[in-house]
Amino acid sequence: MKRIIISISIMALIVAVGVAALITAYSENDRLYGKIESVVRAYESGGDVSKEIDALKMFFKQSYAPALGAFVDDETLGELLSFINRLAPMYESGCDEFTAECEALRTEAEKIYLGELPSVFRIL
């Protein structure tokens, strides 16, 4: 009987960690999307884009990466950081693809959330 209780407890713990990872990824991605939208709005309205990019970097380093670091591998977070780091030089050089780069950043962050969703294909 003890083995059954221990087994059920372990399975419940695994499910709880999975749900926590999913909720964390969803909430942090939602906040990241808001920061990206702030950058795009500032770019389109002629606002202080550099300030918004700095706020995005600060959010990523202080909130996003530490929160998802337990669930997501460092390589994926490094790719997101490289997208963020490319924004300032693109803006300063007047690159036409600035908003496309912001959308690519959003897509990469969405992949993290989708990677946390449970799927039969990941089990097999």
What domain range includes position 21? 2-123
Distance of CA 13 to the CA centre of its chain: 24
Q: Is 91 a residue whose pLDDT tops 70?
A: yes
Q: Quick one: how far is CA 115 from the chain centroid?
A: 11
CA separation for the pair 106, 29 (Å, rounded): 9
- At residue 29, the pLDDT reads 93
pLDDT tens per residue, range 47-81: 899 999 999 999 999 999 999 888 888 888 999 99
Q: What is the DSSP string of 105-116?
A: HHHHHHHHHHHH
Domain count, the chain: 1
Other residues' Cβ atoms within 10 Å of the Cβ of residue 37:
13
